[in-house]
Amino acid sequence: MGQKVITVLRLCLAVAVAAVLVSSPAAGAGSLRFVTIGTGGASSTYRAVGEAICELLAEETRRDRSPESASAGPKPFAPSFSLPSQDNGEDTFRCSAPSTGGSIYNIKQLAKRAFNFGLTQSDWQYHAFNGTAQHLVRRYTGLRSVFSIHSEPFHVVVRKDSGIRRFEDLKGKRVNIGNPGSGQRGTMEVLMKVYGMDMEDFSKATELTSVEQAGALCDNRIDAFTITANAPDPNIALATNRCGARILPMDSAIEQKLVSEQPYYAFFTLPKGTYKTMDEDVTTFGARATLVTRSTASEKTVHALVRAVMENIDTFRNKNPALRVLDPQKMITEGLSAPLHPGALRYYEEKGWK
């Protein structure tokens, strides 16, 4: 009986050792790297962009691990590459793009090392790196640029019966100023300051997210909301289509002065017909969406993500209407205040772009 017990114990030990050997990386095997990209509201362009980047990372990893990939040849839409995988001794990437509070929130989470990457407006990238708005976001010299993405005009959307024709007319009205931590909230507070306004000037100031505000406007719970978003934006379209909401022009002398003084702002013209109620062009100002990371992020991971996007730029453009006019040469310069991360810079140098 004792010999049988010893035999069983030896068998169990052998099985346990084998399980460890199977689950442990072999010599030269790569590691599984998890990538998290902070985005924005659940229906925001930021969320769609973050998911598009993750899809490109996942697709390249799957292609590399597929037995058919060796004979499949390059994708027809663009030059392709194979992301390193555990099969050949390199890394495999798993990517997620959770919904978040937006630009400022994402920068704060990067500083806490909660995210690897984050999407943020170019103005808040500037403020965070230079410490010029520490009442909203602390100076973060460890912030690093990866690339810029689409333009983000600032919209003021009002009920058609609100009587609001100019930004000053928001006084005494019910206004959604945006959720704390979002880029739209930050830009709204900048505008309020230059216009000499504060929260007490509104009859009601709400903090709804971008997903909630169109419904609140059409249900007559607010008179106006603000949003920074590439056009056409689904939340703005919902308000214009459902209840005839209008977009205010934002190119007065005050905005002219603001744009002339700040390197991260520019004017954008929304062509008539962009939204159902636009029967003429509307000019407003805004920033650019940018992808950022932290200085301590893995150079290998940043390089792999940049390659996944840039080598498949046509597919990236087709992921969302906001991305259709992207130009890689502009993506590595426009809207970037923080230094480029070494992983991104290495890729751009390899391409001869830097």
pLDDT value for 87:
40
How do strand 224-228 and strand 174-176 relate by DSSP bridges? parallel
pLDDT value for 354:
82
Closest CA to 146 of 305, 265, 266: 305
Q: For residue 229, what are the CA distances in angstroms to 47, 102, 108, 233?
A: 12, 12, 21, 6
Cα–Cα dist 231/270, whole Å: 8
pLDDT value for 25:
40
Domains and CATH numbers, the chain: 32-150+289-350 (3.40.190.10), 152-288 (3.40.190.10)
Neighbouring residues of 94: CB distance < 8 A, sequence distance ≥ 6: 32, 33, 34, 35, 58
Assess whether pLDDT exceeds 60 at residue 97. yes
Assess whether pLDDT exceeds 60 at residue 127. yes
Phi and psi angles of residue 291, each rounded to the nearest 5 degrees, phi first: -100, 125
The string of pLDDT tens digits covering residues 235-286 is 999 999 999 999 999 999 999 999 999 888 989 999 999 999 999 999 999 9
pLDDT value for 325:
84
pLDDT value for 63:
63
The string of pLDDT tens digits covering residues 24-71 is 344 344 578 899 999 998 888 899 999 999 999 888 766 655 544 434
Assess whether pLDDT exceeds 70 at residue 81. no
Say if residues 229 and 270 touch (Cβ distance below 8 Å).
no
- Average model confidence (pLDDT) across the chain: 85
Cα–Cα dist 337/323, whole Å: 21
pTM reported for the whole predicted model: 0.71
Neighbouring residues of 257: CB distance < 8 A, sequence distance ≥ 6: 194
Q: Tell me the pLDDT band of 3, cut-offs 50, 70 and 90.
A: low
Neighbouring residues of 307: CB distance < 8 A, sequence distance ≥ 6: 81, 83, 347
Closest CA to 245 of 253, 254, 255, 235: 235
Structure-token pair, residue 88: 């050949």
Length in residues, the chain: 354
Cα–Cα dist 231/236, whole Å: 9
- What is the percentage of the chain residues whose pLDDT exceeds 90? 65
Measured distance between the N- and C-terminal CA atoms of the chain, rounded to whole angstroms: 75
CA atoms within 13 A on the CB side of 300: 12
